[in-house]
Structure 1
Amino acid sequence: MERLRRRQTTATRTQAANRARQQNTRGKLERIDMTLRTMRRERIPITYPAVAARAGVSRTFLYQNADAKNLVATAIEAAGDRRRREQATHDANVEASWQQRALNAEHALKAVYAEIDIQRERIGLLLGQLRDLQAEYTEGTAQRLAEENTELKQRVRRLAEDNRVVEQKLQAARSNNRFLDKRLADLEAEILDAQMPKQARKSDRPTR
């Protein structure tokens, strides 16, 4: 009877221990699943060491527990597929951007070529007009223009010299005018001084 009770007690303890291990395993698996969801949402690279550290489990558990290993492997594969899709999308966007840039550059190049053609046409017209003007002027005309240019330069030099002389005369006249103004003021002062005694003598005469 005692032996039977011991067997039952042992069995009960074993069942409790198994339930505890199972509950602990379920808790670890739930933490692993939540950790993987968080890492996917935050775009954190999924690796066994990173998952073990964030979920608070050992790497051995991740490798040895079939469910845990399956969760991590599935997440890594899904992350790889997502990265490949993102990379493909990025490459497509880059290619589209380069295609647009190439089209813009092609349009700009066409505009430049059109502008070059317009400028070449204008240059041709101007060269033609210049040749027409050169054809109108003979050798005698060029010589006459050179002589007239020389004569104009000489006249400019003479006018400049005349202007300098006139400036000098003007300065001399201004200086002379200032001297005459001062001399006139001095003479007026002398006349007033000469008139003062006569007026004083007239005022001293007795009245009848």
Structure 2
Amino acid sequence: MNTSRTDAAVRARRQATQEMLQRLQTALVTTARDHTPVTIAALARTACVSRTFLYQNQQARALVEQATRTSRTHPGISNSRARTQPVWKERALNAEEALVQAQREILTQRTRIAELLGKIRDLEHDLPEGSLQRIVTENTTLKQQTRQLTQDNQRLQERLASARQNNRFLDKRVADLEAQIAHYLTAPPPSP
């Protein structure tokens, strides 16, 4: 049974690897067609694969190296342009991606804040006038009562501990007294 699971897992992993290689090839074709420089980050983003995959998978690494060699020898791009364009293009793409992600996060946060403010307003509208002050006063009173009950509980715990200690002392004292009079109770009565 474990062998069948292992075989299934291996097949699934191979299938996923083949799909990633296919996406990488498609990205490389697009890169070559657009005459854009080959960079690992751009390929990973375009092919929807991780950079680690591009570095660690032998087939992927071979495809990237071949595309890099081809793009370097491409006559349409000069060497100086080929060296500077990837850096700036990479930075621009990273900046665009970060900007889009930040805008999405801001929109999500604004939506969440609006929902929470709406809930607060709904709760405030449901309360009659003056009830907010009444609730604050009741809350303060309850806190004071809780504090008082906590102090009372602590005092009672201390009294209970003292009472138990007194009880142990008295039990010991009773046992000592019983031991002292025990020989009188078990001794034979005096002869007349």
TM-score after normalising by structure 1 = 0.46
TM-score after normalising by structure 2 = 0.49
Structure richer in helix, relative to its length: 1
Higher relative contact order (CA closer than 8 Å, sequence separation 6+)? 2
Structure number with larger C-alpha Rg: 1
